[in-house]
Amino acid sequence: MIVDDTHVILSEGELAALPEYSASVPSGTTIGKRWKANAHAYSANFCHACYAGSGTGKKCSKHDAPLWRIGEFVPIETVPPFETIPGQIGIRWRKVLEIVPGKAVVS
């Protein structure tokens, strides 16, 4: 898995190994815990992007595919606007840029 502050590149195996929390956020406060969330999992029953262009309101294959985001618990001071509130933890969300075949991505 290759990550920066906003993006991630990972393998199919790495994505499959992450727990999925598309409808919630994991409990706990372990710094470094990562999970996946499909931003399209609970969208309305139509494609907003295609609806604006065609007026059909039907889902399309382009916008019906999973839109993966990787969440990670981080210290609150590492998440803008850098306010520290005792007892809280931050979540950093990263967009998945690429999912490559195989078990692991070597950085």
Per-residue pLDDT of 35-86, as tens digits, reads 999 887 766 554 555 555 554 445 555 556 778 999 998 887 766 655 556 6
Domain boundaries, the chain: 2-100
pLDDT of residue 94: 93
* Distance, CA of 9 to CA of 30 (rounded, Å): 22
Look at the chain and count its residues: 107
To the nearest 10°, report the CA torsion of 50, 53, 58, 59.
Answer: -10
Q: The tokens of 48 are what?
A: 């907003």
pTM: 0.72
